[in-house]
Structure formats: structure tokens, C-alpha cells
Structure 1
């Protein structure tokens, strides 16, 4: 994926995947959230491998992938058709 395509996707879903900072933790940046998800979708890497690569826990990676995929589906619904399982 080109840098410009990544930036376009980030502009489309960035606000929806941005988490609020609290006094207890700093959230994972939207760029990193999108990169984790795209790597998973492109390679099918295990959560353990992604955890090692991005320095994020496997539990958080599973949550990030689910949230980002939901937002990608919403934003790209006119471009990607998803079949419904019967």
C-alpha cells in the first residue's frame, strides 16, 4: 500500500479509531492501529507475531483489529461488498 493510500484511509477513519488519553495511560495512535490491522489483513500474521512486531499485547491487538475493521467496513461500504452468511 502506498503512503498516500494509507494517509487517505487514516483521514477517513482516524477520528473514529482515536482513543482518549487518560491520566493512567497513553492511547495507541490511530496510525499504529491502522498499521496493525492492515498488516493482519495483508499477511494473516498471528496475534503473537503482531504483538512482537508492534510492541502491543495480543489482547489489545484483537480489540484493535475488530474496531478498525468495523470502521473500515462503514467507511468503505460503497467500495467493498460484503456477502451475508446464511
Structure 2
């Protein structure tokens, strides 16, 4: 991706160079997301399926930073679905 396009990328993921940078960028994005207002983008059933997939991914290597992020996001989704279910 060119520098010109990277500057236009609002989620700051275009500049990542490796898996560690990607995990760090996702962590910052998740932290930022906790301060933003929530919007509905998925049905409850879709959100549950996403949480299941993230949970399965997280179990593949619980010590890896990306897998830990997946576990965190699965947990947050399940928590929010608690009011849905």
C-alpha cells in the first residue's frame, strides 16, 4: 500500500509490517473502540457465531498475542449477548 493510501486509512492497520505490529494495532483499535458509542452491525445470531469463531481461534495458541485478542473480543461479545439471550 502506498504512503498516500496509508494516510487515508482510518483504522491504522495499513502500516503494519509484521504480526507483532498487527497485534499492537488491533489492541489500540480495540481500546479506541471501548470509548466509542456502540452501533448494531450484526444480528444476535451472527454475533454469537463470530464469538464462537473467535473463541475457537483463541484456543489454538493461548499464549499468542493475536489469539489473546481473539479471546478478549469473544468474551466481550458473549458478555453483550448475555442481555440478548
TM-score (norm 2): 0.33
Q: Which has the higher contact order (CA 8 A, sep 6+)?
A: 1
TM-score (norm 1): 0.32
Larger Rg, first or second structure (1 or 2): 2
